[in-house]
Amino acid sequence: MEKTKEGWIEERLELQPIKEALLDRKVPRALAGNIGWFYTLGSATLMTFVVLAVTGIMLTMNYSPTPDHAYDSVQYIMNEVSSGRLVRGIHHWAATAMVALTFLHALRVMFFGAYKYPRELTWVVGVLLFLLVLGSAFTGYLLPWDQKAYWATVVGTNLAGGTPVIGDFLLKLLRGGDTLGAVTLTRFYSLHAAVIPALIATLIGIHLFLVIKQGISAPPKLARRARPAVPGEQR
């Protein structure tokens, strides 16, 4: 009997156990019939990161991170590059969506009590991811190098400079000097296009490993209803 292509690949690579471990996770008995859209926020956030990575790579092919050419290169992308306006628009709105989805995902975890034992480390990694997402949005805001981006970054770095004790250090670290200039743009571009995405990808891998390892959590109220009753306990 002739084997199918899928069977030929499976016989040699044995991908089924990997697929089951990554995708076929068991749902707690307490959540039977109670899985809803709230549980898709993490996956939606991951998809926006993938969209940002793809569109970001496409944008870097035509962007020049120098004060003399940054603004002109953005205009070139918008007006001359085929589908450049579309790609930049997708990148812009995906970045906005990722901030919103990450925030909503964190709220869902808080309200559903999914940060409690044994998932504290998953919560910590998630918080770090949220901070990196905000950092990515902040560093990307300067890259068009127009008046709006310039002065918004002046305000943002001044806020960082107001940090007690280390404020002056943070201000010079971000700006590369006392004022915004070529070094600032280069640093923000490096952080936005290389450093922060690499950190986000690494932490996403750790976050997904912990989620797969520990499974889906049920809200405390549903979990109490699902477990056997304890004498004298009120539900």
Q: What is the DSSP letter of 3?
A: P
Q: Is this prediction's pTM over 0.85? A: yes
Q: Tens-digit pLDDT profile for the chain (235 aa)?
A: 455 667 888 888 888 888 877 777 666 665 666 677 888 899 999 999 999 999 999 999 999 999 999 999 999 999 999 999 999 999 999 999 999 999 999 999 998 888 988 899 999 999 999 999 999 999 999 999 999 999 999 999 999 999 999 999 999 999 998 899 999 999 999 999 999 999 999 999 999 999 888 877 767 666 556 555 555 555 5
- Cβ neighbours for 68, distance < 8 A, ≥ 6 positions apart: none
**Domain range 38-216, CATH architecture:** Up-down Bundle (1.20)
Residue in 167, 168, 184 with CA at minimum distance from that of residue 176: 184
- Cβ neighbours for 184, distance < 8 A, ≥ 6 positions apart: 142, 153, 174, 175, 176, 177
- The domain limits of the chain are 38-216
> What is the Cα–Cα distance from 9 to 144, expressed in whole angstroms?
47
> What is the Cα–Cα distance from 118 to 122, expressed in whole angstroms?
9
Contact of 141 with 186, CB cutoff 8 Å: no
pLDDT digits (tens, 9 = 90+) for 149-163: 999 999 999 999 999
Contact of 158 with 171, CB cutoff 8 Å: yes
Residue in 103, 78, 81 with CA at minimum distance from that of residue 92: 78
Report CA 75 to chain centroid distance, whole Å: 27
Cα-Cα-Cα-Cα torsion 165, 170, 171, 177, nearest 10 degrees, comes to 120
CB atoms within 10 A of CB 30: 19
Alpha helices in the chain (DSSP H): 5-13, 16-23, 41-60, 70-79, 84-111, 120-141, 147-161, 167-175, 182-190, 196-214, 220-226
> What is the Cα–Cα distance from 190 to 184, expressed in whole angstroms?
10
